[in-house]
Chain A
Amino acid sequence: MIVLLGVLVVVVGFATKRNALLVVGVAGIVTGLLGGLSPREVLAAFGSGFASSRAVTIFAITLPVIGLLERYGLQEQARRLIARFAKLTTGRFLALYLGMRQVGAAVGLTHVFGHAQTVRPLAVPMAEGAAERKHGRLTEKSREKVRSFSASADNVGLFFGEDVFLAVGSILLITSFVNTTYNTHLEPLHLALWAIPTALCALAVHGWRLLRLDRYLERELVAANIEPVAVEGAAK
Chain B
Amino acid sequence: MIKAEWFYWLVGLSFLVMASQMLTDRSNPKRFGTAAFWGLLGAGFVYSTWVVEKKAPAEPLGAAVLLMIVLAGFGFTGRGTPRTTTPGQREASALKLGNRLFVPALAIPVVALLCAVVVKKLSIGGEPILQEGSETILGLGIGAVVALVVGMIMLREKRIAVPVQAGRSMLEAMGWAMLLPQLLATLGTIFQLSGVGTQVGKVTTSILPKDSLYVAVIVYCVGMALFTVIMGNAFAAFPVMTAAVGWPVLIEHFHGSAPAVLAIGMLAGFCGTLVTPMAANFNIVPAALLELKDQYGPIKAQLPTAGILLGCNIVVMALFAF
Chain B CB count within 10 A is highest, among A44, A72, A109, A151, for: A72
B178 and A177: CB pair below 8 A? no
Q: How many whole Å from A185's CB to the nearest CB in chain B?
A: 6
Q: Which residues of B contact A138 (CB under 8 A)?
A: none
- Which of A9-17, A85-93, A221-229 lies at the interface with chain B? A9-17
Interface residues of B in 96-138 (CB under 8 A from A): 97-99, 101-102, 104-106, 108-109, 112-113, 116-117, 133, 135-137
A11 and B231: CB pair below 8 A? yes
Q: Which residues of B contact A233 (CB under 8 A)?
A: none
Q: Given contacts A46-B66, A155-B282, A188-B136, are A64 and B141 in contact (CB under 8 A)?
A: no
Nearest CB in chain B to that of A57: its residue? B182
A3 and B195: CB pair below 8 A? yes
Asked whether any CB of chain A lies closer than 8 Å to the CB of B94, the reply is yes
A65 and B182: CB pair below 8 A? no
Asked whether any CB of chain B lies closer than 8 Å to the CB of A231, the reply is no
Interface residues on B, range: 35 or more
- Which of B21-29, B209-217, B298-306 lies at the interface with chain A? B298-306
Interface residues of A in 120-156 (CB under 8 A from B): 120, 124, 140, 144-145, 147-152, 154-156
Asked whether any CB of chain A lies closer than 8 Å to the CB of B220, the reply is no
B199 and A1: CB pair below 8 A? yes
Q: What mask results when residues 286 to 318 of chain B are scored 1 for a CB within 8 Å of chain A, else 0? A: 110111111001101110110011001100100
Q: Given contacts A60-B15, A64-B14, are A72 and B309 in contact (CB under 8 A)?
A: no
Q: What mask results when residues 33 to 61 of chain A are scored 1 for a CB within 8 Å of chain B, else 0? A: 01111001011111111111111111111
B194 and A166: CB pair below 8 A? no
Asked whether any CB of chain B lies closer than 8 Å to the CB of A167, the reply is yes
Chain B interface SS verdict (over half): helix
Q: Given contacts A151-B290, A159-B273, are A166 and B190 in contact (CB under 8 A)?
A: no
Q: Given contacts A31-B191, A63-B170, A166-B113, are A68 and B157 in contact (CB under 8 A)?
A: yes
Q: Given contacts A57-B178, A173-B181, are A67 and B170 in contact (CB under 8 A)?
A: yes
A57 and B179: CB pair below 8 A? yes
A194 and B259: CB pair below 8 A? yes
Q: Given contacts A3-B194, A34-B194, A155-B302, are A53 and B166 in contact (CB under 8 A)?
A: no
Q: How many whole Å from B194's CB to the nearest CB in chain A?
A: 2
In the assembled complex, the Cα of A52 lies from the Cα of B58 at a distance in Å of: 11
Q: How many whole Å from A161's CB to the nearest CB in chain B?
A: 11
In the assembled complex, the Cα of A167 lies from the Cα of B271 at a distance in Å of: 21
Contact of B93 among A72, A148, A182 (CB under 8 A): A72
Q: How many whole Å from B135's CB to the nearest CB in chain A?
A: 8
B180 and A21: CB pair below 8 A? yes
Q: How many whole Å from B168's CB to the nearest CB in chain A?
A: 8
A155 and B190: CB pair below 8 A? no
Q: Which residues of B contact A80 (CB under 8 A)?
A: 94-95
Asked whether any CB of chain B lies closer than 8 Å to the CB of A218, the reply is no
Q: Given contacts A25-B183, A149-B301, are A35 and B196 in contact (CB under 8 A)?
A: yes
In the assembled complex, the Cα of A190 lies from the Cα of B41 at a distance in Å of: 30
Asked whether any CB of chain A lies closer than 8 Å to the CB of B35, the reply is no
* 15 further A-B pairs in the complex, CB-CB below 8 A; given A67-B170, A177-B242: A46-B62, A56-B182, A57-B179, A66-B167, A71-B90, A73-B101, A77-B102, A119-B290, A163-B267, A174-B262, A177-B189, A195-B263, A198-B316, A201-B308, A209-B304
Can you list the 3 inter-chain pairs with the closest CB atoms, starting with the nearest? A35-B194, A67-B166, A73-B94
The 14 sampled A-B contact pairs (Cβ below 8 Å) are A7-B240, A14-B232, A60-B15, A60-B178, A67-B163, A67-B167, A152-B298, A155-B298, A166-B136, A167-B109, A178-B258, A181-B243, A186-B259, A198-B309
